[in-house]
C-alpha cells in the first residue's frame, strides 16, 4: 500500500497548516501489511464417457475483501482515500471475481487403430486416427473498479486516492449499457474542496466476460519410439469482443464529468491462432 505519511486533514487552507510535518510536502510511504479475507464455495464435476470423451465443469462463488490489494498492481486502488484511516478503505479486492464458471471438454475421434470405427493401421490410421479436439470455456463476473475524483481534500499525493460521491439509491449502471454509456453519470457527483468522497473502494463492477478456446492435435507415429505431434490452438475462437473496464475517473474539478467517464474503449484480445509441431524421441 502506498500512503502519504504527511497526509493532512481535509481542508482548503494551505497545506502546511494541516499537515503533521509542515516543512515537508507529500511523503510516499510503502507498507506491506494489511487485513484481508477470502471466502469461497467451489465445486467440480468430472465425467469420463468411455475412452473418447472427457468433461470437466467447475464453479466458484467467492468474495475477497481487503484494505488494499497490491502496490501498483491491481488497478487504481493502491492509495487509501484517507491516509489516517486505512480501515475506511476496507472493501472488495481489486482482483475480486464473485462468480466464475469453467468447463473443459476433450474428445478423441473414434477412428483408426484400436478405435471403434476403421480399426486398422496404414494410411487410414495416419489420416483419421488419433485426432483430439478440446475446448476450454470460461465465464466470469467483472473485476472491481474504484471511482476517481480530484484532490479536493488537499492531500497532495500522486496518485491521488480521492473518490467520488455516490448518490443514494441511484442505479449506477445503465439499464441497457453500451460502450458509450456503461455508468450513469447522474448516479455520481464530484467532490468539493475540503471533502473526501463517500463512494466505497471498489464499489463498481466491470462487465462480465466469457471466452472460448479451441484446440486440435494428433500424434503421427514414426517409429516405436519416435512420433511427430501436430497441434493447432485458437484463443478466443469465436472472436468475441468482450468489453474492457469503463472509465470511472471524473476527469477534473468541474461539476460535470469528462466525456470519457463511464465509457469503454478497450476489448479483450482478438482471435489468435497458432500452429506447432513437436517431435518426440
* pLDDT at residue 76 in the model: 64
* pLDDT at residue 159 in the model: 55
- Judged on CB neighbours under 10 Å (0-12, 13-18, 19+), 157 is buried
Give the pLDDT means over successive 10-residue stretches in the chain (281 positions): 84 87 87 89 90 92 91 70 88 94 93 77 76 95 90 65 90 94 95 89 93 93 86 94 91 90 90 93 87
* pLDDT at residue 157 in the model: 59
* pLDDT at residue 160 in the model: 62
Residue with cell 510503502: 30
Question: Where would I find the beta strands (DSSP E) of the chain?
Answer: 2-4, 28-30, 36-49, 53-66, 91-92, 99-108, 132-140, 144-145, 165-166, 173-178, 181-183, 188-189, 204-205, 209-221, 227-235, 272-280
3-class SS of residue 215: strand
* pLDDT at residue 261 in the model: 95
Cell numbers for 172: 449506477
* pLDDT at residue 267 in the model: 87
- What does the domain layout of the chain look like in residue ranges? 2-280
Among 90, 87, 85, 91, CA closest to 10: 85
Cis peptide before 147 (omega within 30 of 0): no
Q: DSSP assignment of 240-255, as one string? A: ---B-PPP-B--SSSS
Amino acid at each position: 500500500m502506498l500512503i502519504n505519511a504527511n497526509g493532512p486533514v481535509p481542508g482548503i487552507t494551505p497545506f502546511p497548516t494541516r499537515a503533521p510535518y509542515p516543512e515537508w510536502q507529500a511523503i510516499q510511504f510503502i507498507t506491506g501489511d494489511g487485513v484481508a479475507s477470502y471466502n469461497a464455495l467451489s465445486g467440480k464435476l468430472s465425467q469420463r464417457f468411455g475412452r473418447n470423451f472427457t468433461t470437466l465443469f467447475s464453479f466458484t462463488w467467492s468474495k475477497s475483501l481487503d484494505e488494499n490489494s497490491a502496490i501498483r498492481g491491481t488497478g487504481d486502488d493502491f492509495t487509501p482515500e484517507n491516509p489516517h484511516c486505512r480501515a475506511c478503505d476496507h472493501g472488495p479486492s481489486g482482483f475480486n471475481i464473485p462468480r466464475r464458471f469453467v468447463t473443459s471438454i476433450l474428445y478423441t475421434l473414434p477412428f483408426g487403430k484400436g478405435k471403434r470405427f476403421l480399426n486398422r493401421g496404414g494410411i487410414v490410421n495416419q489420416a483419421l486416427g488419433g485426432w483430439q479436439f478440446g475446448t476450454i470455456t470460461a465465464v466470469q463476473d467483472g473485476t472491481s473498479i474504484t471511482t476517481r475524483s480530484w484532490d479536493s481534500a488537499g492531500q497532495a499525493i500522486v496518485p491521488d486516492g480521492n473518490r467520488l460521491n455516490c448518490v443514494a439509491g441511484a442505479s449506477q449502471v445503465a439499464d441497457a449499457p453500451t460502450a458509450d454509456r456503461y455508468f450513469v453519470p447522474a448516479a455520481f457527483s464530484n467532490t468539493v474542496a475540503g471533502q473526501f468522497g463517500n463512494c466505497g473502494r471498489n464499489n463498481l463492477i466491470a462487465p462480465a466476460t466469457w471466452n472460448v478456446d479451441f484446440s486440435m492435435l494428433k500424434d503421427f507415429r514414426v517409429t516405436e519410439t519416435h512420433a511427430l505431434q501436430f497441434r493447432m490452438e485458437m484463443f478466443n475462437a469465436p472472436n468475441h469482443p468482450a468489453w474492457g473496464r469503463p472509465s470511472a475517473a471524473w476527469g477534473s474539478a468541474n461539476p460535470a464529468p469528462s466525456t470519457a467517464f463511464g465509457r469503454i474503449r478497450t476489448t479483450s484480445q482478438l482471435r489468435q491462432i497458432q500452429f506447432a509441431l513437436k517431435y518426440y524421441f
